[in-house]
Amino acid sequence: MKKERSMEKCSFCGREKKEVNLLIAGISGHICDSCIIQAHEIIGEELKTTSDFDLGSVKLLKPKEIKAFLDQYVIGQDDAKKYLSVSVYNHYKRLAQSKPEDEVEIEKSNIILVGETGTGKTLLARTIAKMLHVPFTIVDATVLTEAGYVGEDIESILTRLLQAADYDVSAAERGIVFIDEIDKIARKGDNPSITRDVSGEGVQQGLLKLLEGSIVNVPPQGGRKHPDQKMIPVNTKNVLFICGGAFDGIDKKISQRLNTQVVGFGGTGDRENVDRKNMLQYIVPQDLKSFGLIPEIIGRLPVLTYLNPLDRAVLRSILTVPKNSIIKQYEKLFEMDGITLTFEEDAYEYIVDKAVEYKLGARGLRSICEVIINDAMFELPSEDTKEFLVTLEYAQEKLDKSSLKRLKAA
């Protein structure tokens, strides 16, 4: 009896049965739950012969194929899709380039997307991340500050990229970073700062070395650097940076440059051809400088493109056409409760009309839909209801009762 008890211990780590949560007996030995977990991790590492981001096993999509993929999820914005598709395609080709014999080295083409809020900048980035076979991360520029101040260091961008690459440094060095809200780090005045602009111009200066390409020491777990912390060197030479921002008010800078508000006889012919409802299509790097981006950072973002404002027809398509459209998401939520959700066509038209009135872009569609069917999502799961139809009268009633109706077009 004593001999049997003495045998009840893990044959790998030697811990007795009372020291572990589970002890599994074999023919001539035992294994505890901790050793099973460790053995599983070891097997996983040994069988992982290729990296998740191995370019050799990836089929290189052509720009038209990349755009076709984006078309499934994002309505319109053909110009931005073309620029984005070409940039990503060239990024793959650049990574696949061996040492050039003719000394022609392909430089990376960082891209900047300019568009009003709700036009799809972040959606484009998230969608293209679904099809990429390189590490991809989205970071927000609004939290970045110069080193030593409250906020995140510039290097935290690369920490996020390392995390996306499962800390595979070689994979991270081939990754793509989308920096959102890049316009929020514009300097406060058109002239260089006299005082320290730690969340504006200071961040732009810090981004220069990342965008251009240099070896940056990155804290592995994020946070502030300290002397005893082990750093991971990351070379950003092959990291593609895509920046996006609303640049609210830049249309006035463009208008001033185009001289569209001048009273008199000069330049009337050119002014008649200007589409004043979509001034962003005339954007040039000079306008970014006037807005507050420093010339050095503009030079490191050579590809500049814009997103069109969403008109009524595009908003109507966004509501139901994409694979992950707003209505399809709600239909899926109701389907999980065994309820079939349908909308009258008049209800769709009403939702789009209100989104145009409130000028909230595609996000406005989601806000309006949420208000209209929130009560149904609260009540119907507890009732024996199999079908639910949203009529025009129902949509009007719910929106009239909400605080959203107080929104007025700017």
SS (H, E, C) 25-92: ECCCCEEEHHHHHHHHHHHHHHHCCCCCCCHHHCCCCCHHHHHHHHHCCCCCCHHHHHHHHHHHHHHH
Q: Give residue 390's pLDDT.
A: 94
Residue 399: both structure tokens together: 């929106």
Integer Rg of the chain from CA: 28
Q: Give residue 262's pLDDT.
A: 47
User: Per-residue confidence of the chain (410 residues) as pLDDT tens digits?
Assistant: 444 455 688 888 988 888 888 888 888 888 999 899 888 888 877 665 445 666 555 567 899 999 999 999 998 899 999 999 999 898 888 887 766 666 777 888 899 999 988 888 888 988 888 888 788 999 998 888 876 677 678 888 898 999 888 888 888 888 889 999 999 888 766 555 555 666 678 888 889 988 988 888 887 765 555 556 678 899 998 899 999 998 988 988 898 888 754 455 554 445 567 878 888 889 999 999 989 899 999 999 999 999 998 889 999 999 999 988 999 999 999 999 999 999 999 999 999 999 888 877 788 899 899 999 999 999 999 988 899 999 999 999 998 887 666 554 44
Q: Give residue 357's pLDDT.
A: 86
Q: Give residue 167's pLDDT.
A: 86
Q: Give residue 1's pLDDT.
A: 43
Q: Assign residue 338 a region (left: φ > 0; alpha: ψ between -120 and 50; beta: otherwise).
A: left
Q: Give residue 52's pLDDT.
A: 61
Domains of the chain listed by start with CATH number: 2-47 (no CATH), 55-306 (3.40.50.300), 312-406 (1.10.8.60)
The residue ranges of DSSP E strands in 247-360, in sequence order, are 303-306, 340-343
Residue 115: both structure tokens together: 């568009």
pTM assigned to the model: 0.75
Triad 98, 103, 108: Cα angle to 5°: 65
